[in-house]
Chains A and B, each alone.
Chain A
Amino acid sequence: DQQVKQNSPSLSVQEGRISILNCDYTNSMFDYFLWYKKYPAEGPTFLISISSIKDKNEDGRFTVFLNKSAKHLSLHIVPSQPGDSAVYFCAASAFGRGSQGNLIFGKGTKLSVKP
């Protein structure tokens, strides 16, 4: 049973427009959420995170929104650039809840930003 779901395997966006990547989770114990970006033949790199005590975190062109009641988070990239083309993984953990704190990853969404 998948605890972290990314239901869109791929997304195509025009350069300069907004990219919205979605992620749903089922475990209400999760209290920390992260987005990782992965280029081919490279390991994932950390992009942005959000604690469950917040509903928004912004870092430059990247903003993550958290809706705890819906168990949903999204990553907004604006404006999108061709270099943003990569696979984006959503991950969640229960770091503050006395759990083992393992990251649980979604299957990823492949973003293509077209010039």
Chain B
Amino acid sequence: GAGVSQSPSNKVTEKGKDVELRCDPISGHTALYWYRQSLGQGLEFLIYFQGNSAPDKSGLPSDRFSAERTGGSVSTLTIQRTQQEDSAVYLCASSLAGRSSYNEQFFGPGTRLTVL
């Protein structure tokens, strides 16, 4: 399919372990976003990549969270030393160009992370 894909769809890990979540954006989309949705909450912005610009990391909740985007395409969100409060659905989105009212964000199906 031509949509945003994420892997794995589900991840169960033990507290203290590191996890990596992957996002494949729509081909040709220059902007990529990570959000998370904790139980009973709305989507919370984490990080934004646009082309070769420095990413906007203002939404990352702690220094245990980091993300990379290699070659302007695939992105990996890494959570180190996971905690139970990190349990959430992590959603990736991409858009054709940068943040504006003209660039619809297309979301992937998300990765459900459970930290035991």
Seen from chain A, the residues whose Cβ lies within 8 Å of a Cβ on chain B are 4, 6, 32, 36, 41-46, 49, 51, 89, 91, 93, 95-96, 100-108
Contacts and interface: CB of A to CB of B under 8 A. Distances in A.
Contacts, number: 60
Contacts of A105: 35, 42-44
Contact of B109 (A4, A32, A43, A102): A43
A53 to B, nearest CB: 11
Contacts of B62: none
Nearest to A106: B42
B71 interface: no
The DSSP consensus for interface residues of chain B is loop
Contacts of B40: 107
Nearest to B108: A43
Nearest to B98: A101
Given A51-B101, A96-B101, A100-B99, A107 B109 contact: no
A95 B41 contact: no
A41 B109 contact: yes
Contacts of A106: 42
A95 B73 CA distance: 24
B105 A46 contact: yes
